[in-house]
Amino acid sequence: MSSLSEQMEHTFRLRNLKSYCMLAMIVLAFVVSALPLFAVFAHIIKLGFSALNFDFFTKLPAPVGESGGGLANALLGTAILVGIASVIGIPWGVSIGIYLSEYGKSKTASVVRFCVDMLVSIPSIVVGLFIYELIVIPMKGFSANAGGVALSILMIPTIARTTEEILKLIPAHVREAGLGLGIPRWKVTLFIIVRGSLMPISTGVILAISRVAGETAPLLFTALSSRFWFDGFNKPIASLSVQIFNYAISPFEDWQSQAWGGALLLVLFVFVVNLSVRILLLRTNTSKGKQI
């Protein structure tokens, strides 16, 4: 009898030991996964900070072989490209999101939803190739427009998806209340449902913008790059991400250092946007919770 209970005691101890080991592995796995983030941050801050100076934000790139110069045209270029992408992508993406959430039970809607899912995960370089065929070849040249459209195609599915998710959270009785008052369905959708969720929808939009701001692959052969100021929408345009790429693979130390500076700006931008969106959402959620 005693030997049996001893045996149980023994296996129990072993099981407990194994449990603790596995839990330790789980914690370790998280630490290892998170490590690259800190490593990347540390190196970018260390190597990028010294490259940031007044010239960096105000001057054009210096000619090959000369030191100094800045990335001002690339900063402006990224802003313009993202601007074009937003003008096309935001209305399109939001309306698809509204359609999927409010009229999303039909067969057509599920086909659309499938396509949105597929487009979210399409490689961005394939989108670049598509725009090259669609716009660059017929227009006979690389252009800011082509780059902007390529970015907008990356934005649309992301925005559509978040908008749908957000609108789905609104309980059905809100819609029923509106309809019960005799308000037409499109008005209920636009002025009650969408208006009430404007804040979370716009945070989704901002996140999508911050994501495309760092995209490089689709710009390589649509917007190309430029060493000069913005020169019209049908001309090649510089962008921060492409400039980082070009400088990173260049043999000049000065350029490499500027690439780190650009990377620091890009990562800071993404980080600040993500953090503030999170804080903003958290605050509205808690204040709403208090009201109810």
Residue 10 binding another protein, by CB under 8 A: no
Given the rule CB under 8 A, which of 69-77, 163-171, 195-203, 258-266 is the region that contacts another protein? 258-266
Candidates 60, 125, 206, 281; binder of another protein (CB under 8 A) is: 125
Among 126, 139, 177, 199, binds another protein (CB under 8 A): 126
| DSSP per position, the chain | -HHHHHHHHHHHHHHHHHHHHHHHHHHHHHHHHHHHHHHHHHHHHHHHGGG-SHHHHHSPBPPTT---B--HHHHHHHHHHHHHHHHHHHHHHHHHHHHHHHSTTSHHHHHHHHHHHHHHTS-HHHHHHHHIIIIIHHHTS--HHHHHHHHHHHHHHHHHHHHHHHHHTS-HHHHHHHHHTT--HHHIIIIIIIHHTHHHHHHHHHHHHHHHHT--GGGTTTT---SSS---TTS----HHHHHHHHHTSS-HHHHHHHHHHHHHHHHHHHHHHHHHHHHHHHHHHHHHHH-
User: In this chain, which of 104, 214, 227, 234 binds another protein, going by CB under 8 A?
Assistant: 214
Closest to another protein by CB, 47 vs 170, is: 47
Near another protein in 56-95, by CB under 8 A: none
- Would you count residue 130 as binding another protein (CB under 8 A)? yes
Candidates 45, 87, 115, 174; binder of another protein (CB under 8 A) is: 115
Establish if 220 lies at the interface with another protein (CB under 8 A): yes
List 271, 276, 283, 286, residue binding another protein (CB under 8 A): 271
Which window, 59-67, 72-80, 117-125, 180-188, contacts another protein (CB under 8 A)? 117-125
Smallest gap from Cβ 279 to another protein, in A, equals 11
Residue 279 contacts another protein per CB under 8 A: no
5 belongs to the binding site for another protein (CB under 8 A): no
In the window 157-176, what residues touch another protein (CB under 8 A)? 157, 160
